[in-house]
Amino acid sequence: MLAACAGPGGGRRGTVAGAEGHGSISVHPERRGDVVLTALSLLESKYRYGGSHPQSGFDCSGLVAYVFNHSARQRLPHNTEQIAQLSRKISRRQLRGGDFVFFNTLNRPYSHMGIYIGEGKFVNAPSSGGRVRIDSLDNPYFARRFDSARTLFSS
């Protein structure tokens, strides 16, 4: 279902060391709504591995990087593992709109991600030949592969 969503350079295993969130990025919580609205505005954009723009398509980390650059004025790497490293872990029940959800889809942690929009749902660019869409954390595919909830937003 998911094809190589880790983005360019996603094969650098071991660089995350558990992705403990040692980055220094802090986004003001006022930006949460902008992040969610920007992500929703990109629904139905096509999937393209390595993609990072609405006209050419997105992969999962390209979508996240584009959304945060355009809605929160925060540049992020085009790589799921690196984004995980820059963010801090939160509990699943602490998830709020604009936070990240990570999944183990390629037999390695942080190989797929999406932007949480509330009510157990997230926006993601899920697969080759697919389109940016909303999925549920309760979807059996994603529920089995859920890795962690993470955020860049300050408390």
What's the pLDDT at 22? Answer: 53
What's the pLDDT at 85? Answer: 96
Helices (H), the chain: 32-41, 60-71, 80-86, 140-145
pLDDT tens column, 33-92 = 999 999 999 999 999 999 999 999 999 999 999 999 999 999 999 999 999 999 999 999
| Number of domains comprising the chain | 1
Q: Which positions are annotated as active-site residues?
A: 60, 112, 124
The domain spanning residue 124 has which CATH number?
Answer: 3.90.1720.10
> Within a domain: residue 24?
no
> Within a domain: residue 111?
yes
Which range of residues forms the domain containing residue 42? 29-151
Q: Is 7 exposed, middle or buried (0-12, 13-18, 19+ CB in 10 A)?
A: buried
> For residue 2, what pLDDT band results from cuts at 50, 70 and 90?
very low
What's the pLDDT at 139? Answer: 97
> Within a domain: residue 34?
yes
Q: In this structure, what token pair is assigned to residue 65?
A: 């990087």
> Within a domain: residue 2?
no
- CA geometry: angle at 146 spanning 32 and 142, to 5°? 95
pLDDT tens column, 25-48 = 999 999 999 999 999 999 999 999
Q: For the chain, give the percent of residues with pLDDT over 90.
A: 81
pTM (predicted TM-score): 0.89
**Mean of pLDDT values over 109-137:** 95
Q: Which one is predicted more confidently, 105 or 6?
A: 105
Q: What is the mean pLDDT of the chain?
A: 89
